[in-house]
Amino acid sequence: MPNDLVKLTLRIYDSGVIKRLNSFWQNVSRLYPSKNSFYIDILLKGLETLEQEANNAKTLLNDNNICTEINKITQNLNLLQKQCKISYKDSFISSRENQVLLIRLYHMLGQLIQDKGISIDAYNKGIFDNLPENFDETTLSLIEEFKQSGNTES
């Protein structure tokens, strides 16, 4: 063996890894002149991946890049939290306003019903609980309007 050649012997004891290698070899064997060249290719690709990961880690650690990235993420999360708080506040206020209006309507309709001679008990038991015609179509239309406003969640 010439002086510039080095022989490396590799032993793999994990049967799962061996099965994966053999299975992959079966799928790509026509692309390689020998099983040895296949193993060399795998080792080189793995080495390149590990070297790239090491370089990425160095880049993040140099010049406080990791701290800068964490700071950017933190700022974005803080902005998202503020926006969510505003949205929650608006939703809460709208919900409470609707609740107050519904309570007022309930009492007003209850009084009107009594004035018309309909029993308040029948009213409370749901005599008017049927949904209006086309209510389902209105709901679907509102969902479509929500989607078209740029919101994709339904």
**Tens digit of each residue's pLDDT (9 = 90 or more) over 110-131:** 899 889 888 888 888 888 888 8
Total tally of structural domains belonging to the chain: 1
Q: How far apart are CA 32 and CA 29, in angstroms?
A: 6
Residue 1 predicted with pLDDT over 70: no
In a domain, 46, yes or no: yes
Question: Which residues form the domain of 47?
Answer: 15-63
5-54 confidence digits (pLDDT tens):
778 888 999 999 999 999 999 999 999 999 999 999 999 999 999 999 88
Asked whether residue 23 is assigned to any structural domain, the reply reads yes
C-alpha distances out from residue 35 to 11, 26, 29, 48, Å: 15, 10, 7, 20
Q: Is pLDDT above 60 for 95?
A: yes
What percent of the chain stands above pLDDT 90?
51
> Do the domain assignments include residue 26?
yes
pLDDT reported for residue 10: 86
Q: How confident is the model at residue 102 (pLDDT cuts 50, 70, 90)?
A: very high
Cα(first)–Cα(last) distance of the chain, in Å?
Answer: 70
Match 């890049």 to its residue by tokens: 65
